[in-house]
Structure 1
Amino acid sequence: MKSLLGKKIGMSRVFSEDGQVTTVTLVELGPCVVLAQKSQEKDGYQAIRLGYDKRGKEGDDKIKGNQDRSFRFVKEVKTDDEHKAGQEIDLGQFEVGEIVDVISTPKGKGFSGVVKRHGFHGAPKTHGHKHDHRGSGSIGCAFPQHVMKGKKMAGHQGHTRVTVKNLEIVRIDPKKNLMALSGSLPGCRNAYLQVVSRQEKKEAKKD
């Protein structure tokens, strides 16, 4: 499976030859270093462990041989291809027009009510209502006398892993390791993310 680690740079616009404007998010991808190779015979599955954003010399002195901790972002990627430890992988494996998924962590918004968190419209502003205009209303009934599991209620919003699907690769700059993806991505600037090829995920499910 084609996959690469990187970080979000920011948003911009791209103009096509016919004058159409596409909103894109700039992502810096790779180069990623292969830290380990998982084999079917030894580990029971085929995968590689990738490392991105290497720490400085001060971090290397404290690590004492733990190669995973010498990178700020480490992820395991399933693949059938053979790789060697220390090998570098860049964004040359992706092409313009390809459809990908992006896995990232959105901004944390703290404790939020149901209007902001789930889009509830709230209570009427008149007809005797007081103090609960942004409340959730009833959360259950007389039977079964408890709140059903999964009920949408107020709580912590954001800061959880999110996958944004079906994003198109608009442009690629191999020299600067930059990729422009259509639309927006979760997370703040410099947020770490993972780009996964959508086509190969579909083929893996068929098998």
Structure 2
Amino acid sequence: MQKGIIGKKLGMTQLFDENGKVVPVTIIEAGPCVVVQKKTVESDGYQAVQLGYGDISAKKVTKPAKGHFDKADVAPKKTLREFRIDDISGLAVGDIVKADAFAAGDHIDVVGISKGKGYAGTIKRFNGHRLRESHGTGPVSRHAGSNGSTSTPSRVFKGKKLPGHLGAERVTIQNLTVVKIDAENNLIAIKGAVPGAKGSVVTIHDSVKA
């Protein structure tokens, strides 16, 4: 990984490319982020930087967190994320990382928390098929069907696709493309959709498969 940043999803819109074709984009308010901590192989066993995003009142942070920010001599931040960057020599504690760290055409991965859909059945949750709407399957045709055999193994295997909570989990969308950068307003336009609701926090970093 060469670079990363924390941002906030503002919503979706559309842009036009040089051929006049519509490109659906998600707008991310990326940064400004501050380097709160540097981790090295000598001190931590691996190399990474910790970025902070979003100001927060000092009254709302715990004493350990306040000490962490005071050590770095930075104002308290609402969100902290760690990025394992290959070369951290160019970054120092207190440095500001902005949207212009990326450029149009970059391939990136975006990580966010998906929208919570509450309790859902197997059809909505796992795209399962319904049962026959004729004799013998009542009283509903949308339940999960058989959970397995009887005396052998006399249990339901782990991973069985059953009803449960849908969404509200960490999701990574890989190999998206940066369409446009607005460095003045710290905005990044990313082609396609990214996980999460409007206003949710996302992290952006170099694509691992580009």
Structure 1 residue 77 corresponds to structure 2 residue 78: no
Aligned equivalents of 1:95, 1:108: Cα separation in 2: 32
TM-fit CA distance, 1:41: 1.0
- Asked if the contact 1:101/1:167 (under 8 Å) is kept, the reply is yes
Show the counterpart of 1:176: 185
Contact 1:3–1:197 (8 Å) recurs in 2: yes
Partner of 2:117: 109
TM-score normalised over the length of structure 1: 0.89
1:155 counterpart residue number: 164
Structure 1 Cα separation of the partners of residues 62 and 155 of structure 2: 55
Q: Which residue of 2 aligns with 1:67?
A: 69
Please tell me whether the aligned partners of residues 49 and 88 of structure 2 are also in contact (alpha carbons under 8 angstroms): no
Q: CA RMSD in A?
A: 2.1
Query: In structure 2, what residue type is equivalent to 1:55?
Result: I
Which residue number corresponds to residue 134 of structure 2?
126
Picking from 187, 191, 195, the partner of 1:186 is 195
Structure 1 residue 177 displacement after superposition:
0.5
Looking at structure 2, the residues matched to 130 and 137 of structure 1 have their Cα atoms a distance apart, in angstroms, of: 11
Query: Percent identity at matched positions?
Result: 39
2:100 maps to what in 1?
92
Task: Quote the residue 1:40 is aligned against.
Answer: 41
- The CA distance in 2 between the partners of 1:169 and 1:42, in whole Å, is 35
How far apart, in 2, do the equivalents of 1:49 and 1:151 lie? 38
The 8 Å contact of residues 35 and 49 in structure 1, kept in 2 or not, is answered as yes
Once residues 103 and 53 of structure 1 are traced to their aligned partners in structure 2, the CA distance between those partners, rounded to angstroms, is 17
* C-alpha deviation, 1:57, in angstroms: 5.9
TM-score w.r.t. structure 2 length? Answer: 0.88
Instruction: Return the letter of the residue paired with 1:81.
Output: I
Count of matched residue pairs: 201
What is the alpha-carbon distance in structure 1 between the residues aligned to residue 132 and residue 52 of structure 2?
52
Deviation at 1:17, TM superposition (A): 2.4
Q: Which runs of 5+ in 1 are unaligned?
A: none
Structure 2: stretches of 5+ with no match in the other structure: none
Whole-angstrom distance in 2 between the partners of 1:27 and 1:35: 22
Q: Distance in 1 between matches of 2:92 and 2:18?
A: 42
Once the two structures are superposed, residues 153-195 of structure 1 have per-residue CA deviations (whole angstroms, 9 ceiling, x without a partner) of 1111111111011111111100010011111111111100100
Structure 2: distance between partners of 1:128 and 1:147: 23
Using the TM superposition, give the Cα deviation of residue 126 of structure 1 relative to its aligned residue in structure 2, in angstroms.
2.3
The 10-residue stretch of structure 1 (123-132 or 175-184) with the greater mean CA deviation from structure 2? 123-132
Shift of 1:4: 0.5
**Separation of aligned partners in 2, 1:57 and 1:144:** 56
